[in-house]
Amino acid sequence: MYKTLLTSLENNIFVITINRPDKLNAINGDVMNDLSAVLSEIESNNEIKAAIITGAGQKAFVAGADISEFVGLSKEEGTALAKKGQDIFFRIENNSKPIIAAVNGFALGGGCELAMACHFRIASENAKFGQPEVNLGLIPGYGGTQRLVHLIGKGRALELLLSGNMMDAQTALQTGLVNHVVNQDELLPKAKSILETIVSKAPMAVAKCISAANAAYTANGYDIELGSFGDCFATEDMKEGTAAFLEKRKASFKGK
């Protein structure tokens, strides 16, 4: 179905594997188009309640945008490429269903940006993060200058952006770029186990947590939280969740 992605769906959790291991899963035009299509699948398939993005093989999550496709681009074409990448990564960040990155190796350039667009990240011990665009006379174009500052702070972000150095998994854990570091064998099981907990919750409340948290970087985050909190009172799931607590039973959420 996809040229560059493998997908599987089990227990409402959709696993998306970027599958160009011979090119360290670099994001070329085909990967971009497939990511756009797979986001539509996530948005339209009610069986999918959460997703994991990972990379094929044991070496790389995604080693960046495909550098071979940069050759000969004009200023306008470069801007258009970044716009396409930013738009697709916004669709990940703003997705109402949780999408997490299981970073199984190099997450460089567009790979680090892809991981950062996900709602949160877990990593294997061999993972390495970086924005090495400066080595190419470039800067990140798929949101990396913004999300890296948000996630690890401006000073740490600028060190990575300006030096092109890589950050290992343990440092990524200490700086808050990733939430957990596990053995490579444990990576997908860990990601699935976290998502199994999340998909047992009320889907609309999960979606509103995402949109309110995303609004933390805007001027009206508190207003978004206020409105979303109120909206929850109009849902059957909120009535069910509170009733179940008071009746000392497990809630059964319907996404309504």
Distance between CA atoms of 31 and 166, rounded to whole angstroms? 24
Q: Of the two residues 34 and 66, which places its CB atom closer to ligand COA in the complex?
A: 66
Q: How far is the CB of 131 from ligand COA (least distance, A)?
A: 8
Q: How far is the CB of 63 from ligand COA (least distance, A)?
A: 4
Q: Which letter, b or e, does each residue of 34-52 get, where b requires 16 or more Cβ atoms within 10 Å of its Cβ?
A: bbeebbebbeeeeebbbbb
77 flagged as catalytic: no
Note the helical H segments in the chain. Answer: 29-44, 75-93, 110-117, 144-152, 154-163, 169-175, 187-199, 203-214, 221-232, 236-246
* Cβ count near 19 (within 10 Å): 18
236 flagged as catalytic: no
Q: Of the two residues 69 and 240, which places its CB atom closer to ligand COA in the complex?
A: 69
Question: Are residues 3 and 37 in contact, defined by beta-carbon separation less than 8 angstroms?
Answer: no
- What are the angstrom distances between the C-alpha of 213 and each of 17, 96, 120, 217, 223? 26, 12, 12, 8, 12
Q: How far is the CB of 217 from ligand COA (least distance, A)?
A: 24
43, 76, 77, 113: the active-site residue: 113
Interface positions with ligand COA (CB under 6 A) = 23-24, 26, 63-68, 106, 108-110, 132-133
* DSSP category for residue 234: T
Q: How far is the CB of 219 from ligand COA (least distance, A)?
A: 31
Q: Of the two residues 103 and 199, which places its CB atom closer to ligand COA in the complex?
A: 103
133, 159, 236, 247: the active-site residue: 133
3-state secondary structure of 236: helix
- Kind of pairing, strands 128-130 and 50-55? unpaired
Q: How far is the CB of 53 from ligand COA (least distance, A)?
A: 17
Distance between CA atoms of 161 and 239, rounded to whole angstroms? 47
Q: Which residues are catalytic, by number?
A: 113, 133
